[in-house]
A and B are shown apart, each in its own frame.
Chain A
Amino acid sequence: MGQRNGGAGTRWRAPLLLMVCAVVSCGRPVSNVPLEIALHPAVSRAVPAYVAVTGLAAAELSGLRERTATDPRWPSLLKITVGPGPGSGVETPASSLPPVEGRYAITESAITFTPLFPFDPGRAYRVVFDPSQLPRPRQAATLTAVVHLPPVATEPTTVVIAVHPDADVVPENLLRVYIEFSAPMGSGVGLDFVKLVELVGRGRRDTVDATERVEPGAFLPVEANFWSPDHTRYTLFFDPGRVKDGILPNRQSGRPLRAGRRYALDIASAWTDANGLPLKAGYRHAFRVGPPVDEAIAPSDWTIARPAHGTRDRLIVRFPRPLDHGIVARALSVETADHRPVDGEISLESHDTAWIFTPVAPWQSGEYNLVAQSFLEDPQGNQIGRAFEALADEPRQTDRAQDDSFRIPFTIGAP
């Protein structure tokens, strides 16, 4: 047929075809541009990544404009599903899972789909466009594409940078431990990734030649969100039922930590960070255990090293035993005698037995207060004037100011 239509006759037919095609292209429902599926990366927070199908004629698009963004007919025309297969995290066949929810829209030249939640970086999504489901069905094959955004990271880099309390010896009634990470972590809970190990042998700290025994049920069995808001610190509570003297779990199993013994917290590298990647390495925090500390915090035992007038020297408050690394940072502050806060930088030293305050402006001579909030605790849960385990009906032994805080006056001397 092609040969018969060729030759001289083609010369006059070509312009005609051109005209016809031009008309057809504007008015016919089918475009001659190939259908294409593309994933467009996010432009901004307001315009997240979306899938677009191009190659549709204006008439085809206008036939879809009447549909709302969540019209139930959309997924039979354009369906986005998670996976299956590598990169999706899903092995179940796509046909047995509901499609990804989102909003559909018609632009000048495309159908777009913006998911309800932004597409996950690195995850594979299967996009199926079925032209037979257009308002005027097109007799064309179903178009399928697997799309994905680039992964945020592929190599583990996050590590444990500290464990608090970080002293060599901790009391056997220790209630909580903070684990600090170098970058935001995921939502996994410490129970799944941290073990308390008793080091039974005589091996040196940090070595593995000691015989080891895992202490089961050491931690509070709660999967609640004990992450800091930025997910760089996790709070691990020992089971208070075992720590507390005299109640049932304590009588049944004893305290998880026993004075005179050596232990390690083993943090597994399988704990995943906010990018879903494991830690670069596991972490071992070894320590010895001493007698319980079950007395209230007594501010009268604190010493204040006062800086000189006219300087920005550090105010150093020393405690006879460590206070809680997390709470002390926000429970202590400095004010003038007439209760105006003094701005400054706060740091902790000497295994949380020293609180350092560096003022923004030089010290003026006069009266000041060190202010301790009533929620100040040590790592065993003892508060000012009230031990974690107090005798019933025992009032606080320290006078409480009306605003629920404690004040320790000090003076910056005149030059």
Chain B
Amino acid sequence: MRTSVKIAALLAFVAFTAAAPRVATFTPAAAAVTGPQLQSIGPLSFGPNGVLYAADSLAGKIYALDLGEKANGGAPGTANVANITQKIAAMLGTDALQINVTDLAVDARTHNSFVSIMRGQGPAARPALLRVDGAGKITTIDTGSLQFTSVDLPNLPANGEGRNQRAQAITQVKYANGRVWASGLSNEEFASKLWSVAYPFTKADAGTSVEIYHGNHQQLETRAPMYAFIPYTIGNEPYVIGAYLCTPLVKFPVSALKPTAGKPYRGTTIGEFGAGSRPIDMILYKKNGKEFLLMANTTRGVMKIPTEGFGTATPITMPVTSETAGVPFEKITSMARVQQLDLLDATHSVVLAGSNATGLDLQAVDLP
């Protein structure tokens, strides 16, 4: 027995000296810093040729990301993914309560869906971008390795300046007719700004910001922020159709959206959809030869609005006492608890539906 113990001890010693780790300092590989260093991400919007416009509210920037092969690597389409927030959370090493989805956008070339999220809580939250393909496979996109250009939003005070507690939330980004458009909200002043810049971004063009007023009733005008918008053409003239926080749908001809000293631009209210809700996303589509605007709202569900009356709608200038007013719409009750919405293809939308408490499902839904 004594001998066995000795041998075992010797064996252990030999094995230890031969295979034990030296006092090593592990330095796991860190990703090289070459691409954009996003501080936050979302909202998103695709432009032509697969360029993904991504707002970084914390940094006050809009990025144009070239997804390259990341845009083409998956199975075409978007498959349904139940409780996608829980799956994303697991992939990113956390639970679903730490995942805050900021937007959903579809690449019109591959019909893959891209989901932007913030992982974590408070000042430590970090951005991530994920792709869902036609097989339901979720892939994290290493944004730090992408080719990109970016532009700074104007008039943003630098962070960390003394007592400055101001923050900006970019609420929507869209591309139309060679320009990128963005709307935003501040946690301080209650201004309504719509900002646009030519793309490709150049250093010479810092963009144009216009103060747009919600032409109110009784000849009043107020500065309610535009929350969601969509570029739209009436006749041959480009317009912006905006949805305000206090629910009006308003149209602006792009030709009038120019900064004019001391005189803000006033839009034409063409619809009022009721109180206690905010617009989330708007998409345009055609069905049976007619065009529709589909608008998701926080508490008033999804609304289907024929666009044929947008050009000729009577402006709302008198106080409204009914539940709603202006252009007609139809509530789509089958689309419930929609948190994010985009156009998937000619016959489908894709939505993130559910709640933060129970998780969000990614679903392709027939266009109504």
A residues apposed to B, CB below 8 Å:
2, 6, 10-11, 14, 17-18, 21-22, 25-26, 31-33, 40, 46-47, 50, 52, 54-58, 69, 80-83, 88-90, 92, 97-103, 105, 107-110, 112-117, 119-120, 123, 125, 175-176, 184-188, 217, 220-231, 233, 235, 237, 239-242, 244-249, 251-253, 272-274, 276, 324, 326-327, 329-330, 346, 375, 377, 381, 388-393, 395-396, 400
Contact = CB atoms under 8 A, between A and B. Distances in A.
Contacts of A105: 26, 28-29
A10 B218 contact: no
Interface stretch (B16-24, B70-78, B329-337, B344-352): B16-24
Given A187-B100, A326-B165, A330-B157, A107 B120 contact: no
A327 B6 CA distance: 79
B11 interface: yes
29 contacts: A18-B7, A40-B26, A47-B27, A56-B19, A57-B19, A82-B93, A100-B90, A100-B92, A100-B93, A101-B140, A116-B140, A185-B122, A187-B121, A221-B278, A222-B245, A222-B298, A224-B171, A229-B159, A239-B246, A245-B218, A246-B217, A246-B220, A246-B319, A248-B274, A249-B275, A274-B124, A329-B163, A390-B221, A392-B215
A112 B190 contact: no
A138 B205 CA distance: 62
A392 B3 contact: no
B14 interface: yes
Contacts of B12: 32
Contact of B220 (A17, A120, A248, A392): A392
B247 A392 contact: no
Contacts of A241: 224, 245-247, 275-276
Interface residues of B, number: 99
B219 interface: yes
Interface string B151-177: 000000101111111110101000000
Given A21-B15, A248-B272, 16 more contacts: A22-B18, A47-B28, A101-B140, A117-B119, A186-B121, A187-B120, A187-B125, A226-B167, A230-B123, A235-B187, A240-B224, A240-B245, A242-B275, A253-B275, A388-B222, A396-B262
Contact of B222 (A11, A225, A240): A240
Contact of A231 (B19, B87, B123, B278): B123
B261 interface: yes
Interface in B84-103: 86-87, 89-95, 97-98, 100
Contact of A98 (B57, B91, B217, B262): B91
Contacts of A217: 275-276
A120 B94 contact: yes
Which among B28, B87, B246 has the highest number of chain A CB atoms within 10 Å? B28
Given A109-B24, A252-B275, A274 B222 contact: no
